[in-house]
Amino acid sequence: MTKTTHPPKHLVREYLERRTHQQVEPPPSPEEIRRELGWHLLPELRQPDQVDRD
């Protein structure tokens, strides 16, 4: 059986204090996520119920 150790309370308090005062950025836009994943390189998937109006 492994023995687990817990950090001292003062270290936990300091960690939580840092986390609560940390600047949090908003999540990226869906377009940015698609770009980072390379989805903009894939051909668009056509739905069977879509009609091409060209």
Cβ burial of 34 (10 Å; 0-12, 13-18, 19+) is middle
pLDDT, greater one: 28 or 51: 28
pLDDT, greater one: 46 or 21: 21
Please check whether residue 34 is in contact with residue 40, taking contact to mean a CB–CB distance below 8 angstroms: yes
pLDDT for 50 equals 55
Question: How confident is residue 4, by pLDDT bands cut at 50, 70 and 90?
Answer: confident
State the virtual CA torsion across 37, 33, 15, 1 in degrees, nearest 10: -40
pLDDT for 14 equals 94
In this prediction the pTM is 0.38
Distance of CA 26 to the CA centre of its chain: 10
